[in-house]
Amino acid sequence: MANYRHTRRIWTTAVIAAMVFTATVTAVTDAQQKRPKRRPAGPRVQPTHADVPYGEHSQQKIDIYLAKSGKPTPLVLYIHGGGFRGGSKSGVNPKPFLDAGISLAAIEYRFVQHKRLPAAHHDCRRAIQFLRHHAKQYNFDKTRFGAFGGSAGAQLCMYLGFHDDMTDAESDDPIARESTRLACVATSGGQTTMDFAWWHKNVPGYDQPHRDISAIFDADTPEGTAKIVSDVSALSLISKDDPPIFMSYGMKPDDPVPAGDRAQGWKVHHVIFGVKLKEKMDEIGVEADLQYPGAKTEYSSRDRFLITKLSSTPESD
C-alpha cells in the first residue's frame, strides 16, 4: 500500500500540466511556433456539412468542408486541443487546404468530464472510420487521409497515425471494419508520451504537483493507467511502417524556463517531446521533421507539409 501511495503521488505530481491545455494555452502555443501569420481571408468559411454525428453523444460531431473536385479528394482531419477538457472544432481555417484541392473534417470528441481517457482517442478512431465509410458520399480518396492538431489534439493525431490499424474485420458494424491509418501527421506543441514519470525526468522544470490522475484516465490502479498510457503514447507506438510527421514547437531545446505565467504552458509543450520522438523515428527510418526557432526543416510550415504529402499519389512517390 505504501508503494502504491508513493507511485500515485509521483503520477499526481506530474499530471496537471498535460491536462490544463485550455483553448487559451493552445492559442499561445500556436503563436510561439513563429509560423508566418495568415492574412485575413474574409468571412469565415462555413462547413459544407456542419455537426455531422458519428456517435450518439452530443460531442461526437464533425464539420466537413468539401473541396470542389471532379475526382475523389484527399482529406485532412483537424483535431483541436484544449487539455481534453475544452476547445472546439470551430477554430480551424480550412481555406489553405480547400484551395489546394484537399477537403477537411474538423472533429469534436468527448472530454474527460464526459468520460475519462482513452474515450477521446476512441472517438477520433470512430470518426476516421466513419469518414472512410462515407468516402463515396463525400468524394474522399480513402487512401489519402492526414491529420493535424495542437497539444491534446496533437496527441490524438499521433494516436491515429502511429497505432496499429484498429480495423475490426470481423465486426457486424461496417464502420468498424474501416481502416484507421493515416498517410501523414502534423502537430504543434504535442506531448509524445503521457508517461508522467518520463515528464519528471526529461521536461525542464516540470516538478510541480497538480491534480488527481483518477480524474483523467479510466483506471483505478497505476498498472491500469500505465496500460492506457502505453496504448495512446507516440513514443510507445511508433514503428517503421508508420507515416511521416511534421512537429513544431515554440522553443529551442536549450532555452531556459521562462518566468511567470508563461512557464507552465512552456513546460507542457516543450520541444523535448519532439526531440525524443524524432530520435526514435530516425533510428527506425521514418521521416520526422522537427521545427523550432532556428531549426532547419524540409518544409516551411505545417500546411506545406500536409499539402505536399496529401497531394502526392502512389504513382508519383
Per-residue pLDDT at 313: 53
**Phi, then psi, of 41 in degrees rounded to 5:** -110, 25
Tens of pLDDT, residue by residue over 103-147, are: 999 999 999 999 999 999 999 999 999 999 999 999 999 999 999
HSE-CB of 294 using CA atoms within 13 angstroms: 6
Confidence of residue 42 (pLDDT cuts 50, 70, 90): low
**Taking the C-alpha atoms of 160, 71, 54 and 76 in order, what is their torsion angle to the nearest 10 degrees?**
40
pLDDT tops 50 at residue 90: yes
Average pLDDT, the chain: 88
Residue 27: inside a domain: yes
Residue 123: inside a domain: yes
Residue recorded with cell 504513382: 315
Q: How many domains, in total, are found in the chain?
A: 1
Per-residue pLDDT at 210: 53
Q: What is the mean pLDDT of residues 198-224?
A: 86
pLDDT tops 50 at residue 12: no
pLDDT tops 70 at residue 101: yes
Residue recorded with cell 531545446: 253
Q: Decide the pairing of beta strands 103-107 and 61-65.
A: antiparallel
Q: What helix, strand, coil percent values describe the chain, rounded to 5?
A: 40, 15, 45
Residue 317: inside a domain: no
- CATH number, domain of 72, equals 3.40.50.1820
C-alpha 251: how far from its chain's center?
Answer: 19
Residue 243: inside a domain: yes
pLDDT tops 80 at residue 265: yes
Residue 316: inside a domain: no
User: Nearest-CA neighbor of 111 among 154, 148, 57?
Assistant: 57
CA-to-CA distance for 122 and 167, rounded, in angstroms? 12
Instruction: Tell me which residue range forms the domain holding 148.
Output: 2-36+45-311
Residue 16: inside a domain: yes
For the chain, give the number of residues.
317
C-alpha 298: how far from its chain's center?
Answer: 21
Residue 274: inside a domain: yes
CA-to-CA distance for 14 and 214, rounded, in angstroms? 13
